[in-house]
Amino acid sequence: MLDWDGVKVGGGGGAGKFLVEWRQRHSLADYNTAIKIANAARSGDLRVLQQIGGSTSSSRREKIGKIVSELCDEEGDRPLHYAARLGHGEICEYLIKNFKMDVNLTAHSGKTPLCFAANFGDPNAIESLINCGANLNVKDANGLSPLHDAVIGGDNKEMTHSFLF
């Protein structure tokens, strides 16, 4: 497994074979750039993302976006999930639009970034994800939709309102 501050790339049995195949598909420079993007997504540093995005060709941005999408923790949460959970709507939007990350990327729980934003984030993150085409009707492994997550998530009526109006 390749670590990203305690977060792993890929998983499952046959990790040695996975690493060899992964290394054949990706350069060390692209991996290092992906780590910088992942850290910026977690910390909410849009400036770093814009610097990387502005100095990278669109085809390479898409390739690096795929690498970033492979980085996950033990629950399968990826950098886009972290950004959504922490309410970094601009970060989510930048990753989706510039690094072609899947707005409906699922964690092992079946939760998408929109589910995390609804449960932990803020209305701006929800709005950004919806504007990027997030599926409002997706259900996680427990059968909960993002609306359920917004209602369960706490006191913020504004988040629930984002789904209803």
Q: Which residue has the higher pLDDT, 67 or 162?
A: 67
Tell me the C-alpha to C-alpha distance, in Å, between residue 137 and each of 107, 140, 152: 16, 10, 16
Q: What is the pLDDT of residues 119-158, one digit of tens each?
A: 886 788 999 999 999 999 999 999 998 888 887 776 666 6
Contact 77, 140 (CB under 8 A): no
Give mean pLDDT, residues 72-76.
Answer: 86
CA proximity to 46, closest of 98, 9, 3, 5? 98
Q: What one-letter code names the amino acid at 160? A: T
Q: Which residues contact 164 (CB under 8 A, 6 or more apart)?
A: 147
Domains in the chain, start-ordered, CATH in brackets?
3-164 (1.25.40.20)
> According to the model, what pLDDT value does residue 64 have?
94
Residue 156 to residues 55, 82, 149, 160, Cα–Cα distance (Å): 39, 19, 11, 7
pLDDT of residue 46: 97
Judged by DSSP in three states, 71 sits in strand
Contacts of 115 (CB under 8 A, 6+ apart): 138, 140, 144, 145, 146, 149
Place of tokens 């369960």: 152
Helices (H) and strands (E) in the chain, counts: 10, 3
Span 85-116, pLDDT tens digits: 999 999 999 999 999 999 999 999 999 999 99
How much helix, strand and coil, in percent to the nearest 5, is found in the chain? 60, 5, 35
Task: Considering only residues 12 and 46, tell me which one the structure prediction assigns the higher pLDDT.
Answer: 46
